[in-house]
């Protein structure tokens, strides 16, 4: 149960959007409801008490929050802040997570400490909600995972624990696209105790394709057995995506890989095949982080993006991307075990462009030194891939900040999240005779590029100039189009989500829940 000693205001004006499962569409629906309310002139703020994700974003004040809450803040017209996501857990291993509390590093939480380690996290989360509720008319909270995770109910502060602590009504969304949504809704209700059920106010079906009349008899059964209404059926929306929270959303790249941004849950669509296409292979590290760096590439027409985890999958790639990693040394070891390290260095030797971002950039180094035991538990060092003349030293302090720069005259707004600090090495190995030139905050040698900056490819002019450089180096005839820019696409997505909320949900019922 929620900690009764936490001083929160009962009956806050707001709503909690929970889910029958992870990836049911809570983030999308929260963003859509937020934008819909903002359109009505309501001062609304998003909230997620706890996020477990390696996809994060840096706020203007240098604090770190989950990427989805950052986008939801944009939906509300707010400057993102740590209050929107007071607890962020970044998995380092299957049994250990790095804790970001109020936007700043706060140690680690191990699986065996989960039952006892949440009290302080809950206190911080409830306090953040209280501050938001005091400043805004409405707070739309997003739950985490499933509302029916009864094995984790004791000490819960993200789902019904939050709802009961602050008096929030709960609407539960289920994903019909994966099947079994009726059973998932009824089963969620059946597992809860009476006190928790009292906060459930209704259901929303998400990602529906087909004739709603065929679904209606099933919805009536759920309504009859649970006593809760279905507030609407959200359609399967193409051209709608959201900056992903976890590995479940990585398929979005495949869905939009042909270039025209398609639904996160959708199928490949649009052009992208043929001699002019620029094929991007992104290495799928086990602890891949800030995967959203690649979203802007995948949204570019004619740039299909594939996730790869085998050496043979690199064949035919025009650009190989080593993305961010929450466990750089561990993922570098995985790269070697899979034979991918050798394949990447061989491809670079043949002139195939290779791009490393943050953790991936660090892997391109000659040497990685974890003197502060940030990742390796004890001070250690390991050889990198040796593709750039740099050394990386992990420092205890985490670097998080918003940054600006330029490349070939194109302005770039970006952000940093890293412990590893890059230094030019004193002795260059490998292709030491090649020219070394700056690339954003990092370096380029021949066709190997490295940068610490996340989010750089969201800058349209830079992204298209960089892809043009790759096309020239690989002999592709790809050229940039006049398609909407990445940030414009995100704004269009938010508007489409709000349109769908207004059209397909019982908005009068939602307003009554919000006491508006």
Six token digits for residue 356: 């490393």
Tell me, what's the pLDDT at 49?
Answer: 96
Please provide the average confidence, as pLDDT, over all residues in the chain. Answer: 87
Among 108, 138, 118, CA closest to 46: 138
**Dihedral sign, Cα of residue 205, residue 211, residue 213, residue 214:** negative
Q: Which residue ranges form the domains of the chain, and what is each CATH number? A: 14-50+69-81+122-239+492-513 (3.40.50.300), 277-478 (3.40.50.880)
Counting as low any pLDDT under 70, the low residues of the chain are 1-12, 92-94, 110-117, 242-275, 377, 426-433
Tens of pLDDT, residue by residue over 29-87, are: 999 999 999 999 999 999 999 998 888 899 999 999 999 999 999 999 999 999 999 99
DSSP 485: P
Among 357, 368, 367, 375, CA closest to 458: 357
Residues with Cβ within 8 Å of residue 206, at least 6 apart in sequence:
24, 25, 28, 29, 173, 174, 175, 176, 177, 234
Tell me, what's the pLDDT at 512?
Answer: 95
**368 close to 329: Cβ distance less than 8 angstroms:** yes
Does residue 240 sit in helix, strand or coil? coil
First to last CA, the chain: 29
Catalytic positions, please? 358, 454
Among 269, 204, 52, 236, CA closest to 67: 52
Cα gap 466→464, rounded to integer Å: 5
Exposed, middle or buried, 495 (CB in 10 Å: 0-12/13-18/19+)?
Answer: middle
Tell me, what's the pLDDT at 303?
Answer: 94
**174 close to 19: Cβ distance less than 8 angstroms:** yes
Tell me, what's the pLDDT at 115?
Answer: 55
Tell me, what's the pLDDT at 118?
Answer: 77
Residues with Cβ within 8 Å of residue 425, at least 6 apart in sequence:
365, 366, 367, 389, 390, 391
Cα gap 46→37, rounded to integer Å: 11
Tell me, what's the pLDDT at 105?
Answer: 86
Question: Distance from CA of residue 489 to its chain's centroid?
Answer: 17
Tell me, what's the pLDDT at 224?
Answer: 98
């Amino acid at each position: 149960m929620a900690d009764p000693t936490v001083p929160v205001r009962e009956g806050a004006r707001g709503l909690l959007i929970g889910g029958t499962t992870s990836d049911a569409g809570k983030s999308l629906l929260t963003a859509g409801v937020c934008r819909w309310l903002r359109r009505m002139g309501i001062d609304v703020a998003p909230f997620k008490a706890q996020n477990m994700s390696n996809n994060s974003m840096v706020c203007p004040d240098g604090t770190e929050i989950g990427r989805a809450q950052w986008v939801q803040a944009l939906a509300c017209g707010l400057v993102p802040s740590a209050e929107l996501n007071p607890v962020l857990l970044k998995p380092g291993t299957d049994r250990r997570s790095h804790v970001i509390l109020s936007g700043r590093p706060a140690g680690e939480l191990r699986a065996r400490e989960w039952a006892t380690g949440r009290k302080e996290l809950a206190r911080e989360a409830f306090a953040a909600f209280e501050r938001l509720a005091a400043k805004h008319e409405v707070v739309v909270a997003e739950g985490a995972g499933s509302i029916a995770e009864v094995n984790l109910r004791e000490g819960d502060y993200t789902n019904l624990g939050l709802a009961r602590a602050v008096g929030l009504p709960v609407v539960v969304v289920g994903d019909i696209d994966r099947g079994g949504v009726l059973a998932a809704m009824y089963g969620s209700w059946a597992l809860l105790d009476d006190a928790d059920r009292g906060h459930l106010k209704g259901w929303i079906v998400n990602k529906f394709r087909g004739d709603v009349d065929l679904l209606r008899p099933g919805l009536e059964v759920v309504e009859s057995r649970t006593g809760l209404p279905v507030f609407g059926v959200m359609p399967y929306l193409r051209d709608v995506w959201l900056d992903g929270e976890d590995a479940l959303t990585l398929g979005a790249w495949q869905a939009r890989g042909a270039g025209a941004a398609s639904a996160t849950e959708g199928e490949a669509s649009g052009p992208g095949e043929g001699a002019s296409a620029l094929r991007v292979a992104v290495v799928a590290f086990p602890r891949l982080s800030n995967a959203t760096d690649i979203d802007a590439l995948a949204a570019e027409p004619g740039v299909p993006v594939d996730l790869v985890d085998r050496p043979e999958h690199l064949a035919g790639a025009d650009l190989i991307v080593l993305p961010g990693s929450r466990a750089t040394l561990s993922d570098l070891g995985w790269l070697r075990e899979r034979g991918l390290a050798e394949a990447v260095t061989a491809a670079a030797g043949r002139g195939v462009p290779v791009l490393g971002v943050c953790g991936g950039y660090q892997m391109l180094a000659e040497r990685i030194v974890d003197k502060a035991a940030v990742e390796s538990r004890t001070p250690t060092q390991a050889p990198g891939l040796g593709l750039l003349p740099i050394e990386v030293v992990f420092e205890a302090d985490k670097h998080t900040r918003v940054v600006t720069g330029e490349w070939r005259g194109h302005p770039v707004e970006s952000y940093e999240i890293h412990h590893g600090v890059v230094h030019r090495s004193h002795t260059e190995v490998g292709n030491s005779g090649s020219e070394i030139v700056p690339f954003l905050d990092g370096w380029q040698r021949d066709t190997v590029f490295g940068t610490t900056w996340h989010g750089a490819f969201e800058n349209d002019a830079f992204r298209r100039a960089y892809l043009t450089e790759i096309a020239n180096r690989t002999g592709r005839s790809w050229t940039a189009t006049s398609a909407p820019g990445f940030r414009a696409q995100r704004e269009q997505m938010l508007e489409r989500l709000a349109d769908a909320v207004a059209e397909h949900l019982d908005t009068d019922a939602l307003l009554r829940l919000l006491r508006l």
